[in-house]
Amino acid sequence: MASIKGNIATSACQAGQVALVVRLLKRISAAAADEDNNLIFSPLLIHIVLTLMSAVAARDTLDEILNIAGVMSQEELASLVKSMVMDGVLIDRSTVGGSSILFASVLWSDKQ
């Protein structure tokens, strides 16, 4: 049962990610076309930044970030980014002589 709930949450996160990318692509590509420019953007990086921002956001700002990302909670957003980064891009290859890369989605701030 937990697996089914996990799959539903993952599907919802992925649907939110696709919706965000489509909205951004429409806006950015229209601006790039007007200026006859090339366009490159990273949906993964956008979600990483949203995850970092959500770590320090509260109330209305947090709700807005989660809405933009298409998720219901900070945990869902962090899980989505972890699955994209750790399970997709930065696969641990240390067991076969490759590298091991660690990724943390946390933001620290030293207030002076």
pLDDT attached to residue 64: 93
Helices 2-34 and 43-56: angle between axes, nearest 10 degrees: 110
What's the CA gap between 51 and 57, in Å, rounded? Answer: 10
* Residue entry with tokens 């990483």: 48
Stretch 12-31: mean pLDDT, rounded? 76
Confidence grade of residue 70 (pLDDT, cut at 50, 70, 90): confident
What's the CA gap between 10 and 1, in Å, rounded? Answer: 14
* pTM exceeding 0.85: no
Per-residue pLDDT at 95 exceeds 90: no
Q: Tell me: the pLDDT tens digits for 50-63?
A: 888 998 999 999 99
